[in-house]
Amino acid sequence: MKALVIEDDQDVASYLVKGLKESDFVVDHAADGKEGMMMAASEEYDIMIVDRMLPGMDGLSIIKTVRATGNQTPVYQHGGVCHAARRLRLHRKAV
């Protein structure tokens, strides 16, 4: 099975990629929205894991664009407000 991880946080991406590989997935990773959109449009995947907030193109736009082409690959969308809140908490601890 093949998965696409679109995630700009390298720590989160590494964790996701490692877990998917341990579950016998072949995994592609894109670190920004534009690269992820190009990969989603040019390859077939069994699942896509898409961050909500990405540089270049946000996760919801990627999902909408993919769906508009008729692609029904299952998508797990994560991040967004919870991800931003976590970063804010980490920033406050550092200050």
According to the model, what pLDDT value does residue 86 have? Answer: 55
Find out whether 6 and 73 touch, Cβ atoms under 8 Å: no
Sign of CA dihedral 54, 18, 84, 63: positive
According to the model, what pLDDT value does residue 69 have? Answer: 94
Domains (range + CATH), the chain: 2-94 (3.40.50.2300)
Query: Which residues are 53's β-sheet partners?
Result: none
Q: Give the mean pLDDT per block of 10 residues along the chain (95 residues).
A: 95 92 97 97 96 93 95 88 54 51
∠ CA 15-20-26, nearest 5°, is 125
Q: Tokens 């998965």, residue?
A: 3
According to the model, what pLDDT value does residue 79 have? Answer: 76
pLDDT digits (tens, 9 = 90+) for 69-93: 999 999 999 875 555 555 555 545 5
pTM for this one?
A: 0.83
Kindly tell me the burial class for residue 22, based on how many C-beta atoms sit within 10 Å of its own C-beta (0-12, 13-18, 19 or more). exposed
